[in-house]
Amino acid sequence: MERGLYIAASGMVSEMARQDLISNDLANASTAGYKSDTAVQGSFGELLLRNTQTGETIGPLGEGSRIERQVTDLSAGPIKETGEDLDFAVEGDGYFAVRTGQGVRYTRNGQFTVSGNRQLTDQMGNAVLNQNGQPVTVGADGKVAAGSVGLFAVNNAAKAGDNFFQGTAAGRGTGQVRTGALEGSGADPVRAMTDMIASLRAFESGQKVISTIDSTLQKASNQVGSVG
């Protein structure tokens, strides 16, 4: 089979994975505490081509691209004042902890609310935990002291879906909890749109390569092969 087809197809698959991450960033451009992702691409390797008659080196031939890893930018986003009593932001390092059906998860999204039993919860109804791992109770005035909300250092934090992270808790985070504010999204919509355009162009280039190779193979089989 024509090697160029595999090389072009691998590049298109890599760009599709990259576009998925960019689309997710765009969808979360206004999500509090969201962290953007980047797909790091690499090569499968190269083949050294030689002239079979003379042994002379012709040069290397790449074997296509692949996604080597996904990198999450964990740097802190800008903090915006909201004035809402149950909005919290982390200034510095640390994560809020919530108890989900899959266990304790961590998040930088401090847009919380109050449940029917006056517990502090996230937007999906998961209980927000204090530093001792217990649910936080909302006062009769509808407020929660910043010091009542747990702030955890998390080793090897990795995305677990729904703006959550999983990892190993390692004591209290070094940052501070700020009331009446939210951390902005780490996604830059302008940069994401620019990256999306570049990725789409790279994808289209792969399509053109495959179309050209397919046309060449068709001529080889239908025209060259019919010469008597």
Break the chain into its structural domains and give their ranges.
Answer: 3-74+187-226, 79-183
Query: pTM for the complete prediction?
Result: 0.78
159 vs 52, residue with greater confidence: 159
Q: What's the pLDDT at 86?
A: 97
* Residues in a beta bridge with 210: none
Share of the chain above pLDDT 70, in %: 93
Cα gap 201→214, rounded to integer Å: 20
Q: What is the pLDDT of residue 45?
A: 65
On the question of pLDDT at 226 being above 70, the answer is: no
Residues 201, 168: Cα–Cα separation, whole Å:
40
Tell me what the mean pLDDT of segment 181-194 comes to: 94
Q: Tell me the residue ranges of DSSP E strands in 44-151.
A: 46-50, 57-62, 65-72, 79-81, 88-91, 96-100, 103-107, 113-114, 120-121, 127-128
Alpha carbons 105 and 33: distance in angstroms, whole number = 14
Whether the pLDDT of residue 3 is over 60: the answer is yes
Asked whether residue 218 carries a pLDDT value surpassing 90, the answer given is no
Q: What are phi and psi of 26, to 5 degrees?
A: -65, -40
75-102, pLDDT tens digit by residue?
Answer: 999 999 999 999 999 999 999 999 999 9
Q: Is 63's pLDDT higher than 80?
A: no
pLDDT number for residue 227: 57
d(CA 39, CA 33): 20
Provide the percentage of residues in the chain whose pLDDT is more than 90. Answer: 68
Q: Let me know the angle formed at the C-alpha of 157 by 155 and 161, rounded to the nearest 5 degrees.
A: 155
Q: Which of 84 and 45 is assigned the larger pLDDT? A: 84
Local confidence band at 215 (pLDDT 50, 70, 90 cut-offs): confident
Identify the pLDDT of residue 225: 57
